[in-house]
Structure 1
Amino acid sequence: MNDTLTRTEFQSRFEALLSQLSKDNMIDYAFIDIPSDRKPWLDTGIDLSAGERVTTFAVGKTCLKGTDLWFGADFQLWCRIGPDGEIFRGTRASNTFAVEKPDRLYLASYFPGEWATRTGELATPDEVYEQASGCLAALIVRWRVEPIEGLKRLAALGDVDGLVASEIDRLTDPVVPPPGWNYLWFVGPAEIYRSCRTPEKEPAICCHTHRDVGLLQKDVSLPFEPNTRLRWAWRMDRLPSEVREDTLATHDYMSIAVEFDNGQDITYYWSAELPVGTAYRCPIPTWTARETHVAIRSGREGLGQWLDEERNVFQDYQDYIGGLLPGNIVRVWLIALSLFQGREGDGRYADMAFITDAGIIPVSAGGPV
């Protein structure tokens, strides 16, 4: 992520490259500024045609006033084609996409807001953007040729802090999630999770997080009954926090979670410092009402080892959430968050299953059950 490149350097260095590229390669390009304190959406004035191929590059930071927290353009920049088009973003500070329907391009800086709909309406009040400062700068390149060919020709002329090479790498060697798993749409895609194997060659899911976030989900349909338990094996090699995770500024962790049909979820994680059994509501304001964290391991002992876990989810719901019980379990999540402190985390998950009085229901790490 290019968090040190200034807005002026970003534009001047890309213009120097693009000026050398033949007009046979691209239709046009434009630089757009997106103030972080402006609520979505920003009208770019760029009208795209059906079938066009577009690459975006972005730099800049969104900062939360009164804190040391900041979020890079790779997480912050979202796009929409048309006033009612479906919103999307890339996984890096660059992205490439094809235009299906002709319309105007809109851009947005996301956090501290949260999406309510797939067309970019907000679930948060407009006033939350008063908490933000900073600015994103985006370069929009509209290609005449296949984007990968245009990018390679651009790379032959030079690069800007590795942004061109990174987009070529993303297109030629994409990091795809395990079959049957999908990233939570309103947080956005990531390159955090991929399929791997245990030492016994059994299917597993590998996780690597570094100043990013990913909520990987798999749908299940299971009545929520007494004695419903979740079983899994994991190997946590490196935790993304070295301090307790129950504040907004330190809320970096990796976990496995269970979502219920009432919108609540319990997420089980390995804490750096909090005692085993500590439970708390999520410190991210937009998640406080729906997510409960439970520390089931703590400290460095056991890191780097495969460990088997089992939780009585029914009992945990009663103990840590309470109230009217949900009727069904609807999803399993794997969560990785390292945006706040910017550290790295590594881990693996395998042998996930629900255990009920009726039997064992596997949650496949490699595809549909």
Structure 2
Amino acid sequence: MPSTVLQRLYQTLGLTGDQEPRDPASPPERNAPSPLPTFAHYVRSRFRLQNQPAKAEDITTAFRQRLEAGLQALDKQLSSCDLFTLPAGSQEWTDTGINLAAGESITVMGDGGLYLSRRLDVVIGPNFGLWYRIINRDNKGHVNLLPLGGAVITAEQGGTLELIAAVPGEFGDAQGGFDPDTASLKVNGEFTAAVLRWQVDTEEALTAAAAADTTLFGTVLARFKEPIQPPKGWHYLWRLGASEIYQEKENSLCCATHANGGILQYPVNLALNSDLVFNWQWCVDALPSKLAEHIQPTHDYLSIALEFDNGLDLTYMWSSDLDIDTIFQCPLPWWDKRETHWVVRNDPADLGHWLNESRNVLADYQRAIGGPLPNKVVGVWLIANSAFQRGEGRCRYRQINLRNEQGTKIIYD
């Protein structure tokens, strides 16, 4: 059977994305193994789950009951609590009817699940699937992820709060419109979102709430008192949201992901010449997947990437099971037309150790992506995903730079 036919079969099965070369005259290297053995291992691992995954409606019912119990002792602090059911796959924003003045703060929390496959327990939680925007009189807003399933939101400008349950990557623009390529995505389940307004100072209210129910309110209070922010100059890719998984700590840029993900970006503007070298150090402490990461259900990984001015990116990743120098197109929709992965580390003995990396950017681009060359490198990305198998990934970065004959561009020292 021709390889192109197999590729289309794998894509139809939802294992891989579009693998067609962008320029058939100069096809890039693609050497990932067949996705079928990895998928078989994945299915076996899912069927070994001891219990059938809980239904989203049962989770949200328990959340509502626990929230009601936790708020009973807060009558002096609480002004109002509004609950909203957000169905999966609707692609329709819910107008809460809650109008916020500029600078006003509210607390938003949620629970439930968006199931891509309930039997295989592929589910997105509210920490990576509950989104909000504040629409002002000009109907302008910006899509924002509700990190960790609960947070204090402050309206920079006045407007109406809107909420939605959506799988990361469904949005087609930063205002919350949807990409037509994701319209066929089959998702079921729901979130329940609670919007809390307090009569007293937010910290005072959350302190009292955390005393009543630490599990429910403790994380929200901790993040309010000590927000997790990336280093200066870095920002999250809006498409996946500010998930608060990156922070500067102990002289390194640290990542901790668990059942979520995110892309942290640093803008640059450097010509793509033959002497351009990408250098970094990283220490990976835990990988989010125990299976090969080249298919959609197991695509949980840690990596560092370069973005080019043609909209493409090349990401250097650490794999749990793929061979060094395995090169493959991203298996996820939308990303399959933009992102190429290159395995540069896979030895479990190296986990927990600082390692040095150095790559010639032009040579790697020609081998991994091919076709017409871009003119510039326009960004450095840190990428983490643990949403599919809901594992845990931890890594640290330092000494990130781009170097050519003219000098060195320090990204993170």
Change in Cα spacing, 1:16 to 1:297, as seen in structure 2 (3 Å) is closer
Q: Deviations over 1:318-337 (max 9, x none)?
A: 11111111111011111111
Amino acid corresponding to residue 93 of structure 1 in structure 2: G
CA distance in 2, matches of 1:337, 1:357: 35
Structure 1: runs of 5+ lacking an equivalent: 198-202
Task: Report the secondary structure of 2:335's partner residue.
Answer: coil
Report the equivalent of 1:318: 366
Give the letter aligned to residue 70 of structure 1.
V
The answer to whether structure 1 residue 307 and structure 2 residue 307 are counterparts is no
**In structure 2, distance between residues paired with 1:28 and 1:34:** 19
Match of residue 303, structure 2, among 255, 258, 267 = 255
Could you tell me how far 1:17 is from its partner in structure 2?
3.1
Contact 1:52 1:99 in 2 (8 A): yes
The correspondence of residues 317-356 of structure 1 with structure 2, limited to 5 A, is 317-356=365-404
Alpha-carbon separation, structure 2, partners of 1:352 and 1:13: 45
Give the aligned partner of residue 33 of structure 1: 85
Q: How far does residue 164 in structure 1 lie from its aligned partner after superposition?
A: 0.8
Which amino acid in the other structure matches residue 96 of structure 2?
Answer: T
Task: After superposition, give the CA deviation of every residue in 1:80-126 in whole Å (9 maximum; x if it has no partner).
Answer: 12242222223211111123444332111121652232211122346
Task: Supply the AA of the counterpart residue of 2:204.
Answer: E
* Secondary structure of the structure 2 residue equivalent to 1:150: helix
Whether 2:315 is the aligned partner of 1:267: answer yes
Structure 1 residue 111 corresponds to structure 2 residue 163 = no
In the alignment, structure 1 residue 96 sits paired with structure 2 residue 152: yes
Specify the alignment match of 2:143 in structure 1: 87
Q: Distance in 2 between matches of 1:99 and 1:240?
A: 34
Larger CA deviation: 247-256 vs 186-195: 186-195
Cα offset, 1:45, TM superposition:
3.1
Within the candidate set 149, 152, 164, 2:207 is matched to: 152
- Structure with greater strand share of residues: 1
Aligned counterpart, 2:236 = 183
- Per-residue displacement from partner, 1:50-103 (whole Å, max 9, x unpaired)? 443210110000011475311001111111122422222232111111234443
Q: When you count helix as a share of all residues, which structure comes out higher?
A: 2
Preserved contact between residue 106 and residue 195 of structure 2 (Cα < 8 Å): yes
Deviates further, 90-99 or 116-125: 116-125
Q: What's the % identity of the aligned pairs?
A: 37
Of 246, 253, 256, the match for 1:205: 253
Moved more, 62-71 or 215-224: 62-71
Partner of 2:194: 139
Tell me which moved more, 139-148 or 287-296: 139-148
Q: How far has the Cα of 1:274 moved from its partner?
A: 0.9
The C-alpha deviation readout for 1:220-252, integer Å capped at 9, x for no partner, is: 110111132111111222211111100011111
The aligned residue for residue 272 of structure 2 is: 224
Asked if the contact 1:39/1:126 (under 8 Å) is kept, the reply is no
CA contact (8 A) 1:282 1:292 kept: yes
- Whether the aligned pair in 1 keeps the contact of 2:210 and 2:216 (CA below 8 Å) is no
* Alpha-carbon spacing, 1:101–1:233, altered in 2? closer, same or farther (3 Å): closer
Partners of 2:85 and 2:215 lie apart in 1 by 21
Q: Note if 1:240 corresponds to 2:271.
A: no
Instruction: State the secondary structure of the residue aligned to 1:169.
Output: helix
Question: Which residue identity does 2:248 align to in structure 1?
Answer: S
Q: Which range is displaced more, 300-309 or 334-343? A: 300-309
Check conservation: 1:52, 1:143, Cα contact below 8 A.
no
Contact 2:91 2:178 in 1 (8 A): no
SS in 2 for 1:179: coil
In structure 2, the CA distance between the partners of 1:355 and 1:50, relative to structure 1 (3 Å rule), is: closer
1:113–1:128 CA contact under 8 A, matched in 2: no
Q: Of residues 70, 73, 89 in structure 1, which corresponds to 2:126? A: 73
Distance 1:37 1:142, change over 3 A: same
Deviates more, 1:310-319 or 1:235-244: 235-244
* Cα distance change of structure 1 residues 273 and 65 upon mapping to structure 2, 3 Å threshold: closer
Q: Name the TM-score, length of structure 1 as normaliser.
A: 0.90
Residue number in structure 2 paired with 1:362 = 410
CA RMSD of aligned residues (A): 2.1
Corresponding position of 1:60: 112
Mapped contact 1:94–1:163 kept (Cα < 8 A): no
Residue aligned with 1:128, SS: coil
Would you say the 8 A contact 2:77–2:199 is kept in 1? yes
Distance 1:282 1:44 in 2: 36
Mapped partners of 2:132, 2:83: distance in 1: 14
Alignment partners' CA distance in 2, 1:173 and 1:361? 31
Q: Structure 2: give runs of 5+ residues left out of the alignment.
A: 1-53
The number of residues matched between the two structures is 355
